Amino acid sequence: MKVPLYLAVAQWTLLFAFGLLLIVVFRQLGRTLHKDDAVVPLGPEVGSKAASLEYSRFADDTVQYLAPGDGQPTLLAFVEPTCPSCEKLVLALGTAEHSGELSGLRVLLLTSSPKSYLKVSDAFRATRLECGRILAQATTQAYGATSTPLLVAIDRDGMVRAAAPAIELAEVRTFSRACSFPAAGGESIPITATTPQHENDLEAAAPAAGAD
Amino acid sequence: MDVLVLCAKTAVACLLIVAGGAKLADPASFASTVRLFVPLRIGWPLLSAIAVGVSLGEFAVGVASLTFPAIMALDVLVFAIACVFVAVSAIGYAFHRGRSCRCFGALSQRKFDAAGVLRGAVIAGIAAVALAHVNAAALQLDATARVLLFAAAALLAMTAFTAARARGAGSRREVVAQ
């Protein structure tokens, strides 16, 4: 059967047109995936106003409201009992607390896990620091707590002075200094994030509230 | 020579189909380009209707040109549309330089510039080549071939529509991220 010349040419042209569109789609897909990998901020922006938050305190099972900027510098630690790096951070915070380096600071361990999960970790079970469960997923979003551990230093005016992953005692000390840093000027203490992050996703775990 | 003319004819037809399908993915943004060329102050619903009409017109002429290659009047119409492209590019270059032309919806980020005028002229040139006489036997298509070409044209438009929508969504993400 003889194919008309026009049909043969049209087929090739259509093939090229589809190929070009396929390239456009794949380029866009690659660009989108690259962006998703590259631009995932961890922690709130330094110098911004810290968001208020609600948490369920494990010690007495009461709901607490924290409004940064109430005059007390605060050190927030977003941690998970199932995360080994978080255990180290909790131990480091305990050591700093014991030695009085965190005096005058409000230190708060925040997790998305239920109270029963604390049993799996010696560090969490033994800590004397205030520990609570985040009640709203909006809190993890506001603090950019997409992975743990994350330490956030908030000064007495409620401004974020430092935010980065941390596990070592030296890093805890730097953050405790950041909390007391003079508020004027808006400058921040540079924090070097050398800590390997745990892939725990607080946002994913937060909707499980109430499963305790 | 016949192959060259037929290549030009099908290429311009495919271009119109892709441009029409891509514009239909985001008529609102194309309407903002249309507004640049409408001297009267008219409402967005009418501008959107014009944008959709232009997009559907491009698609319809492209499909007709692809499936009915023997109709000479369609080749003339395609050439006239290509001349309009040149005129729009030139006016855009003169009065709205640097503004996005949305000629292919979100598929292209081209703006009104000198290169755009040149691209329009090249398209018009290709459409002019398609006006050349071709041996009638080369254009003989039966009903099945026409239906298949129509289906391929519809698929091409849908692919362009989807690709433009994906690119448009990606661009909006960029803006949000900034």
pLDDT in tens, A73-101: 899 999 988 788 888 899 999 998 888 88
The chain A residue lying nearest B4, using CA atoms, is A9
Residue B156 and residue A14: Cβ atoms within 8 Å? yes
Least confident of A61-65, B106-110, B127-131: B106-110
pLDDT for residue A183 is more than 60: no
Residue B18 and residue A21: Cβ atoms within 8 Å? yes
Report the interhelical angle of B72-95 vs B114-129 (nearest 10°): 170
pLDDT number for residue A204: 39
Q: What distance in Å separates residue A201's CA from the closest CA in chain B?
A: 21
CB A43 within 8 A of CB A77: no
pTM above 0.80, yes or no: no
Q: What distance in Å separates residue B16's CA from the closest CA in chain A?
A: 11
Whether this model's ipTM surpasses 0.95 comes out as: no
Select the residue of A21, A28, A32 nearest B160 (Cβ to Cβ): A21
Q: What distance in Å separates residue A67's CA from the closest CA in chain B?
A: 28
pLDDT for residue A193 is more than 90: no
Which residue has better confidence, A183 or B95? B95
Using a CB-CB cut-off of 8 Å, the residues of chain A touching B106 are none
The chain A residue lying nearest B69, using CA atoms, is A6
Residue A32 and residue B173: Cβ atoms within 8 Å? yes
CA–CA distance, A145 with A143 (Å, rounded to integer):
5
Strands laid side by side in the A150-154 sheet: A62-66, A53-57, A130-134, A106-111, A74-78, A150-154, A160-164
In this prediction, residue B173 has a pLDDT band, given cuts at 50, 70 and 90, of very low
Using a CB-CB cut-off of 8 Å, the residues of chain A touching B139 are 4, 6
pLDDT number for residue A205: 39
CA–CA distance, B63 with A15 (Å, rounded to integer):
16
Select the residue of B2, B159, B173 nearest A21 (Cβ to Cβ): B159
What percentage of residues in chain A have a pLDDT greater than 90?
A: 10
Query: Which of A11, A4, A36, A43 lies closest to A163, judged by CA?
Result: A43
